[in-house]
Amino acid sequence: MRPLIIAANWKMHTTPADAGDLARTIAARTREPSVVRVICPPYVSLAAVRDAVVGEGVEVGAQNVHHERVGAYTGEVSAPMLVGLATWVIVGHSERRRDAGETDELIGRKLGRALEAGLRPILCVGEQLAEREAGRASEVGARQLEGALAGHDPQVLAEGGLVVAYEPVWAIGTGRNARGVDAAEMAEAIRAVLTGLGWPAETAATLPILYGGSVTSANIAEFLAEPSIDGALVGGASLKPDEMAGIVGRAAVTARARLEVAR
């Protein structure tokens, strides 16, 4: 059975002075052993969050990583630098694609650096509103996925714990989210792309796929009701302990239900 994962992307919020308290509160409010919980704070708050959640079963992730191991890249952070601070990392988020001009090829290199360092990657893919309205959502997701995974061994990706987050760009930070059925269709399309890239069907079937895009405690149930969706990458709501408690609580209900079905 695929794990249920709730990953919090704090984006450019919190400082080292307040991140620890927020992480500690969220950890205490979301103690659900059947759910994998990950908090991704800004770089400067990684150590504070790491120390705050010791013993709570909460994992820590970075929001980005550089595509080189070392070099003259002022202001950048490499995968080896993150070791000891984080065990997960987000790559390919639409805000990085938009604001930093990241290409699929560059994201693929970041993915490689993350895997080499033993960081578990969350690879984000998703379409713009015009692309969805033109009926090209699956095509865009496939292109992004194929571009990022090109040259990577499926076995290495699977063993490295690759997770894919489907994030329709038009739903990020807008208060507008896709329907559960939309996310489920994209999840199945993603797994079909993997088999087309040479992944064994049984390996592709074990890949966790998250939904991201204006996720809240009020709408998470719609996505988790879809068997092909395995959790969420949560943005703004992840800064609110009440919201996180509701989201993780619903994920725990789903995890227990799926376990009963698997038995």
Check: CB of residue 199 under 8 Å from CB of residue 155: no
Check 131, 167, 226, 243 and give the catalytic one: 167
Q: Phi-psi region for residue 92, left (φ > 0), alpha (ψ -120 to 50) or beta?
A: left
Helices marked H in the chain — which ranges?
A: 16-29, 46-52, 79-82, 94-100, 104-116, 129-133, 137-149, 154-159, 180-196, 201-204, 220-224, 241-262
Q: Please report how the helices 241-262 and 16-29 are oriented relative to each other, as an axis angle in degrees rounded to 10.
A: 40
13 is catalytic: no
**Cα distances (Å, whole numbers) of residue 10 to 84, 216, 226, 235:** 19, 14, 25, 6
**Exposure string over 67-90, b if 16+ CB within 10 A, otherwise e:** beeeeeeeeebbbebbeeebbbbb
CA atoms of 236 and 9, how far apart (whole Å): 8
93 is catalytic: yes
Residue 190 amino acid letter = I
Check: CB of residue 34 under 8 Å from CB of residue 259: yes
**Cα distances (Å, whole numbers) of residue 125 to 56, 157, 204:** 30, 16, 16
Check 93, 95, 102, 131 and give the catalytic one: 93
Active site residues: 93, 167
